[in-house]
Amino acid sequence: MSGSPCTNLDKRTKDNGFVHRLNTTYKPNGDLLFYATWSRGFRPGGINRRGELPPYGADFLTNYELGTKISFGPGAHFNVTGYREDWDNIQLSFLGANGLTEIRNAGNARIWGFEADLLLRPLDGMTWSNGLAYNNARIRNDFCRIAVEDFDCTQAVDLDNDGVPEENARLADKGTRLPLTARWKANSRLRYEWEPALDMRAHVQGSLTYEGNRRRDLRDFENSLYGNMKAYTLIDAATGIDFGRWNAQLYVKNLFDTRGQITRNIQCVETTCGDPDNLTAIGGKIYTVVTRPRTIGLRMGYSF
């Protein structure tokens, strides 16, 4: 059957690209380092499984990065990096008819952001590690229903060659946030170690992980069906002891049993299976994958 997964597509695609990584560093003393990086990578294009769809092209990522690493005190440090990433000819995948994934080139995007991590040792035996990241990731052109040069969504296209151009709707505006990308992420861990007796070392620790809210889909209407994925915070705790070659640890993951939203899926095309007017027999169904529920466990080990 034409368009089925077993059809001989009789298509090919060919790509070539040049990748590089240039880095320079300056170290004025043993505790301070500055660096700059310019790098580039690419993913080759490929063939869509649905025969009537065109092949998709390669996408390229160019990264510009400036950072510093600072050491202070016994084992403490502060690292911070700022970057800009230019993502050209982005490959994005969408769910198509009959459950087949469709890959489209969605134009260009730019990502501004920074990452920082801080490690402190406020007391003997105590370490406090922290991380923070910010990403402002947005598409730099309108995204059209039918791919056209320069992403001009006002251009009608005769998609099925019947002499009647189809309307080329705009699916997402220039400046729309990229999907699955949180603006803010953070983590923190506090750990204390001590020696309760000879040949014993005990520890207690707690950690926090934060993930900001995210779009599920680049396309505005489909994203309105899914809804944005909410921000969430996870807290873990553990205590343990090492004695000779033996070790044991009691831990609790997701202490407050938070249902953090990792991703959302649907069983067929969003405009059918997720339609608010319930076009399917079971109505609109969105499936949300959440974080693992509260888990309490005991680990024991022996070193040979």
Q: Mean pLDDT over residues 53-72, rounded?
A: 93
DSSP 228-297: PBPPEEEEEEEEEEEETTEEEEEEEESTT----EEEEE-SS-HHHHT-TT--STT----EEEEPPPPEEE
Closest listed residue to residue 261, CA positions, set 285, 232, 226, 284: 232
Kindly indicate the confidence band of residue 98, based on its pLDDT and cuts at 50, 70 and 90. confident
Least confident range from 97-106, 183-192, 295-304: namely 97-106
CA distance 280 to 276: 10
Banded model confidence at residue 234, pLDDT cuts 50, 70, 90: very high
Q: What number is the average pLDDT over the span 236-240? A: 97
Percentage of the chain surpassing pLDDT 70? Answer: 93
What is the average pLDDT across 126-132? 97
**Given this model, what pLDDT does residue 145 score?**
85
Average pLDDT on 61-70 reads: 97
pLDDT of residue 282: 64
Between CA 163 and CA 170 the distance in angstroms is 22
How confident is the model over 166-194, as a mean pLDDT? 93
CA distance 100 to 50: 7
Looking at the predicted structure, is the pLDDT value of residue 9 above 80? no
Binning pLDDT at 50, 70 and 90, where does residue 55 land? confident
The pair of structure tokens assigned to 231 is 């921000």
pLDDT digits (tens, 9 = 90+) for 249-298: 999 999 999 999 999 988 788 877 776 665 556 666 788 999 999 999 99
Q: Where are the domains of the chain?
A: 91-302
* DSSP designation for 183: S
What is the rounded CA–CA span in Å between residue 65 and residue 183? Answer: 18
Average model confidence (pLDDT) across the chain: 89
Report the pLDDT averaged over residues 71-96: 92
Residue 5 above 70 pLDDT? no
Per-residue pLDDT reduced to its tens digit, 208-232: 999 999 999 999 988 988 889 999 9
Q: Is the pLDDT of residue 99 over 60?
A: yes
Name the residue among 70, 54, 182, 65 with its Cα closest to residue 120. 70
- Contact status, residue 216 vs residue 263, Cβ threshold 8 Å: yes
52-57 long-range contacts, CB within 8 A, separation 24+ = 52/3, 53/102, 54/147, 55/11, 55/12, 55/13, 56/13, 56/91, 56/103, 56/104, 56/105, 57/13, 57/15, 57/89, 57/105
| pLDDT-derived band at 189, boundaries 50, 70, 90 | very high
